[in-house]
Amino acid sequence: MRIFLTGATGFIGSAVLPELLQASHQVIGMTRSEDGARSLAAAGAEAHRGTLEELPSIRSGAEKADAVIHTAFDHDFSRFVENCEKDRRVIGALGEVLKGSGRPLLITSGTGVGGAGPGQLACEDVFDDHHANPRIASERAGNDLLDAGVNVAVMRLPQVHDTEKQGLITPLIAIFREKGVASYIGEGRNRWPAGHRSDVARLYRLAIERAEPGARYHAVGEEGIETRRIVETLARGLKIPAVSVPQDKAADHFGWMAMFAGMDMPASSALTQATLGWRPQGPGLIADLEAMRYDVGA
Q: Grade residue 110 by pLDDT with cuts at 50, 70 and 90.
A: very high
31 bridge partner residues = 49
Instruction: Tell me how crowded residue 89 is: count the other CB atoms within 10 A of its CB.
Output: 15
Mean pLDDT computed over 174-193: 96
Confidence at residue 298, expressed as pLDDT on a 0 to 100 scale: 56
CA dist 272 and 223 (Å) reads 13
pLDDT of residue 76: 82
20-34, 236-250, 252-266, 269-283: the lowest-pLDDT one: 252-266
Q: pLDDT-based confidence at 51, cuts 50/70/90? A: very high
Q: Does residue 286 or residue 77 have the better pLDDT?
A: 286
**Mean pLDDT calculated for residue range 58-82:** 92
pLDDT at 247 over 90: yes
pLDDT the model gives residue 52: 94
Min mean pLDDT across 15-29, 30-44, 116-130, 148-162 is at 116-130
For each of the domains in the chain, give its residue range(s) and CATH number, in order of start. 2-160+194-221 (3.40.50.720), 163-193+223-265+284-291 (3.90.25)
- pLDDT for residue 2: 98
Q: Degrees (nearest 5) of the Cα angle 158, 288, 110?
A: 5
As beta bridge partners, residue 184 has 244
The yes-or-no verdict on residue 105 having pLDDT over 60 is yes
143-152 pLDDT, tens digit per residue, is: 999 999 999 9
Output the pTM of the full model: 0.95
CA distance 36 to 50: 11
pLDDT score recorded for residue 204: 98
Predicted local distance difference test score (pLDDT) of residue 297: 59
Beta strands 222-226 and 191-196, pairing class: antiparallel
Q: Mean pLDDT lowest for which of 74-78, 89-93, 102-106, 270-274? A: 74-78
Among 59-68, 73-82, 94-103, whose mean pLDDT is lowest?
73-82
Q: What is the mean pLDDT of residues 25-41?
A: 96
pLDDT band at 202 (very low <50, low <70, confident <90, very high): very high
Please give the pLDDT value at position 193. 98
CA dist list (Å): 146 to 96, 104, 106, 153, 154: 12, 11, 12, 8, 11
